[in-house]
Structure 1
Amino acid sequence: MDLAKTVKAYIQERELIKAGDLVLLAVSGGVDSMTMAHILLLWQKELGYTLAIANFNHHLRPEAEEEGRFVAEFARRRRLPFFLGGEDIAALARGGNIQEVARRERYAYLRALLARLGGDAIAVAHHRDDQAETVLLHLLRGSGLTGLAAMAEKDGKLIRPLLGVSREQIAAYAAEQGIEYREDASNASVKYLRNRIRIELLPRLADYNPRIAESLCATADICRAEDELLDDLAENALAELWINDDNALNKSGFDQLPLALQRRVARKAFTMIMGDQRQLDFAQAESVLRLRDEQEAQLPGGLKAYVRGNIYFAAAKPPLPSYTGAYPLLIDGLWHRLADWGWEYRAAEKQDAAYAGGFSLVVPADICAGLTWRTRQSGMSVPSAGKKGRRKLKDIFIDNHIPVHQRGGWPLLTAAEEIIWICGLWQKEVRPTLKPILIQVRICDKISE
C-alpha cells in the first residue's frame, strides 16, 4: 500500500475527518506539510471534506516570506482558501524560549482562524519520527505518563494524519510524486534541543535498537492509554471530593487516594479554578500534597492552597476563627447550641438520658450550678502529675492530634477559673455521687472557617 492509501486508512480508522468537515491545513512549505496537503487533496472528493490552507510567519528567518508566497501560490493553483498569519516571535520571547513562544502563537492563530471560519479540524504534519523525538524530549526534561504519551492523533480539533508514517516514507513519496517544497535551514541547526535529539541522539540510539522510533512510538501509545485511564479516575475523584461552596477538596477523602491520583486531582482542581491555560508543574503539585494543618503553598496566578481541615484554594488564607463567650450549663435534657463553636450539648440526670454519641461526662448534681462553657484562652492549663504540676492545653491538643483550626472552638467546662472537662480529652477527677448528671457533647456542624 502506498503512502497516500496508508494515510487515508489511518484517517478513516481513527475518524480524524468526517464527510462535510472543513479542515484547515497548517502548511509551512516544508516536505512534511506539503506532502500532507497533497495527500489530503487527493482524497478530498472521495471522503467528502473541504480544505483551507494557513501559513504562519514567525519572522525569525528572511526566507519565511518567500515560503509564505510559495504556499499561497500552491493554494491559489488548487483554488483553496489561503490565510497568512504571523508574529514577531523574537520580540515576544524577549530572551525566553523562542520555540515555545513560536508554538504558542502559531497554534493561537490557527485556533482563532478555525473558529472564525467555522471549521472542524486543524491538520498538522507531525509524523512518527516527530513522535519519537517528542518522547525523548519529554523524558530528558523529566516527565510522567502525560508527557511520555507525547502527541495524540486527535487532540480536540487538532489532528495529525501523518502520525502513523515515518519521515523516510514521506520523503520517498515526495520524491516519487515530484512534490515541490522548501527546506527550512534551521532544521539542521543543533542550537535547539529537539534538533540535537533528531540529528545526534536518535542515530546513536539506533545503534542499540534499529527500530528505536517505532519502539518509542509504541511507548507513547501505551502511556497514552494508561494516562487516559488515570485521567478519567482523577476526574471522578475530583467530582466526589470537591466542595464547591468552599473552593476546597475534602482532605480525608483526598488522603485516601493513591499518590498518582492525588497529584492529578490537585492539578485538576487548580485548572478548574484558574482555567485551562493554567497548569501546575510537578513541584507545584507536590507542594499541595505536602501541606499539613495550617500550612499554605503559593501557586501560579496569585492563588494559594492551604489546609484547614480540608484543602482550600483562595487568594489568601484567612485568619483563624476566634470564639468567645461563656454559657452556663443548663440541665433540662434539651440540646443547646454553643454559639458558633460548632458544638451542642445536653445535660440531664443520668437515668433519664439515652446515649447520643459524641463525648460524655458524669458529674455530681451539687456542683453543676456553677459550671460554665468556655473556649480556650491564653495561658490555660490543667493539673498534671509531671514535674511542673501543670499541663498546657496546647500540649493536650497536640498529643490528641486536634487540628489547629478546631482548638479555638473546643468546648471547655469550667467552675470559676478551673477547668473541669476538656471535652473528650481530659477531665478532672470528681467524687462519686448518688445523683449523677450526664453531660453529652457532640459536633452539630462545621466550625466556621
Structure 2
Amino acid sequence: MLQKFKKHINANFPFLKDKKLLIAISGGLDSVVLTTLCNQLNFDISLAHCNFNLRGKESDLDKESVVKLSQKSSNQIFTIHFNTEKYAKENKLSTQIAARELRYNWFQELITTHKFDFVLTAHHADDNLETFLINLTRGTGLDGFTGIPKVNGNIARPLLAFSREEIAAFAKTNNIVWREDASNASTKYIRNKIRHQVIPSLKEINPNLLDSFAKTSTNLQESKQVIEDRISEVFEDCITTKNGIIKIDIHKIRELSNPKAYLYQLLKGYNFTEWNDVYNLLSAQSGKQVFSKTHRLLKDRDFLLLSKSNETKEVREESFFIKENELETLNPIHLVFESVQEISTENKQTIYIDKDLLKFPLIVRKRENGDYFYPLGMQGKKKLSKYFKDEKFSLLEKENTWLLCNSDNKIIWVINYRQDKRLSINKNSKNLLKVLVKVIN
C-alpha cells in the first residue's frame, strides 16, 4: 500500500510535499495508518487529537495511545479536551455535529497559530460511500451525491482512494497498533447501521461496489462542474451587486428553462431552506420576503434583493443625537464635522452647511411618514417618499438610508444622497461647516 499511496500522492496531492501538515488523529485504525504512511514518506507532520469526553475512560486511553505514538515517531502533538455535550446543548446541535464543529474550529485555530498549510483527515472510500447513502436516505441535492471532497480549502483527505479493507491489511502487515472504538459496532447511529447492515448486502449484490461507486462519484462530480459553469453564466447575466446588496433580475430568471432549479443553485450558499417560498417570491407583491439564518431575500418590483439579515432590520424608531461640541460620531453612521474657510470638495459623501443655522442637538434617524425636504439643486420642497421613488430607491436602500436633521426634526441631509438647500452655504454665510461620511477601508 505504501507504493500505491506514494503514487496517489504524486498524481493527486503533489502540493502536500514540502508543506507543514497537521494530521487529525483519533487513535483509530484509519488515522494511525495515515500517520504511518506520511512518516514513511518523510512528510513534515504534526498530530492533533481531540478528547470529546464522551466515552469516559476509553477517551482517556485514546489520548494516551496517540501521545505514545507521537513520542515513538517524534511527531509534535497537540491535544485538547471538549465538553461536547454542553456545547451541543447550548447550540442545539446533535452530539455528532457538535463534535465536528469543535474539531474543525480547533484545527483552524492551530493552522493560524502554528502556520500549518493543510490538515489531513483519514476519510477513506468506505466513509465516502457511507456518506453518500446517508445523504440519500435524508434527501439531498447534487452536492450530497458527489461524496466527500478530496480537498476542501485547507482540509485534504489523501486516503479517499483506499478501502477500509486495504487500510486494515496494511496495518496488520506492518504490526500497527491502534485503538478500536467500541461504539463503532453499535447500530445506534445511522452511519453504523448503514456500515454494518446495508453495505454488506449491497456488496453481496455487487462485490465491486466501491469501484462502481467511485466511477459514479466521478461522473456526478463532472456533471456538477458542468452545472457550476452554467450557473456562472447565469450569474453574470441575471445578477448585479450594489452596496453589498445582490440584485436578481426576475424577468431573466423567469426566462430560464427551470427558474426554481436555477434559484436554488444561485442561492444555496445563503442557508435558505424554504425553497417553495423562495420560488414564490418571483410572483409575489413587492415587499414580500423570505429569511434564512443569515440572509434576507426581498421582492422589490422587478428584482429579488439579497442581503445579510443583520444589515437589513426593519426601520428602527431609535434616534441618535449629536451635541454641538462633537466633532465626530460613530453611531449609527461615521460622521465627521469640521469648520472650514472654503468649499473644497463636492461629492455625495460630503456637504457644506451654514453652522449658524444649525439647531443642536442634531438628530440622525431613519425616515418617517410625512418627511419632506428642499433638495439642493431643485425647485421647491419634495416629499421624501417621492424623492425615493424618482431616484428609484429599492426597498432595502430606503430602509438603510439615514437622515441628518436639525433639533426641530427638519431634514438637513439625506446622507450620501442629497442635501437640503435651506442650510446650504450662501454669500452671507460666515461659519462654514463641512460634514462628511468617513469610510473605513
Query: What's the TM-score once normalised by structure 1's chain length?
Result: 0.65
TM-aligned CA deviation for residue 255 of structure 1:
2.5
Aligned to 1:248: 247
Structure 1: which 5+ runs fail to align?
A: 271-278, 326-338, 345-449
Aligned counterparts of 1:93 and 1:248: Cα–Cα separation in 2: 37
TM-aligned CA deviation for residue 234 of structure 1:
2.6
For the 8 Å contact 1:59–1:87, the answer to whether it is kept is yes
Moved more, 227-236 or 7-16: 227-236
The one-letter code of the counterpart of 1:267 is K
In the TM superposition, what are the counterparts of 1:300-319 in structure 2 within 5 Å?
Answer: 300-301=292-293, 303-309=295-301, 310-314=303-307, 315=312
TM-aligned CA deviation for residue 304 of structure 1:
2.8
The one-letter code of the counterpart of 1:79 is S
Percent identity, aligned pairs only?
25
Aligned counterparts of 2:193 and 2:3: Cα–Cα separation in 1: 32
Query: What's the TM-score once normalised by structure 2's chain length?
Result: 0.66
CA 324–253 in structure 1, closer or farther in 2 if over 3 Å, else same: farther
Larger Rg: 1
CA 341–28 in structure 1, closer or farther in 2 if over 3 Å, else same: closer
Structure 2: which 5+ runs fail to align?
A: 316-367, 373-385, 392-441
In the TM superposition, what are the counterparts of 1:287-302 in structure 2 within 5 Å?
Answer: 287-291=277-281, 292-294=284-286, 296-301=288-293
Aligned to 1:267: 268
The one-letter code of the counterpart of 2:288 is E
Aligned counterparts of 1:18 and 1:187: Cα–Cα separation in 2: 30
TM-aligned CA deviation for residue 79 of structure 1:
1.5
Aligned to 1:14: 12
Aligned to 1:336: none
Give SS of 1:312's match.
strand
Aligned match for 2:62, one of 64, 67, 72: 67
The one-letter code of the counterpart of 1:85 is I
TM-aligned CA deviation for residue 73 of structure 1:
1.4
Does residue 1:53 correspond to 2:47, yes or no? Answer: yes
For the 8 Å contact 1:132–1:214, the answer to whether it is kept is no
Q: What does the per-residue CA deviation read over 1:256-283, in whole Å, with 9 as the maximum and x for residues that have no partner? A: 3444332111224x3xxxxxxxx33xx4
Does residue 1:211 correspond to 2:208, yes or no? Answer: yes
Give SS of 1:136's match.
helix
Aligned to 1:173: 170
CA 114–182 in structure 1, closer or farther in 2 if over 3 Å, else same: same
Aligned counterparts of 1:141 and 1:343: Cα–Cα separation in 2: 49
CA 323–220 in structure 1, closer or farther in 2 if over 3 Å, else same: farther
Give SS of 1:165's match.
coil
Aligned to 1:430: none
Aligned match for 2:34, one of 33, 36, 54: 36
TM-aligned CA deviation for residue 30 of structure 1:
0.6
> Number of paired residues?
317
CA 107–341 in structure 1, closer or farther in 2 if over 3 Å, else same: closer
Aligned counterparts of 1:302 and 1:32: Cα–Cα separation in 2: 36
Aligned to 2:125: 128
For the 8 Å contact 1:230–1:261, the answer to whether it is kept is no
Aligned counterparts of 2:2 and 2:100: Cα–Cα separation in 1: 27
For the 8 Å contact 1:323–1:340, the answer to whether it is kept is no
The one-letter code of the counterpart of 1:264 is Q
For the 8 Å contact 2:24–2:31, the answer to whether it is kept is yes
In the TM superposition, what are the counterparts of 1:386-425 in structure 2 within 5 Å?
Answer: none
Aligned to 1:77: 72
Give SS of 2:16's match.
coil
For the 8 Å contact 2:289–2:299, the answer to whether it is kept is no
Moved over 6 A (4+): 321-325, 341-344
Aligned match for 1:229, one of 202, 226, 231: 226
TM-aligned CA deviation for residue 107 of structure 1:
1.1
Aligned counterparts of 2:390 and 2:64: Cα–Cα separation in 1: 75
For the 8 Å contact 2:202–2:209, the answer to whether it is kept is yes
Aligned counterparts of 1:41 and 1:178: Cα–Cα separation in 2: 15
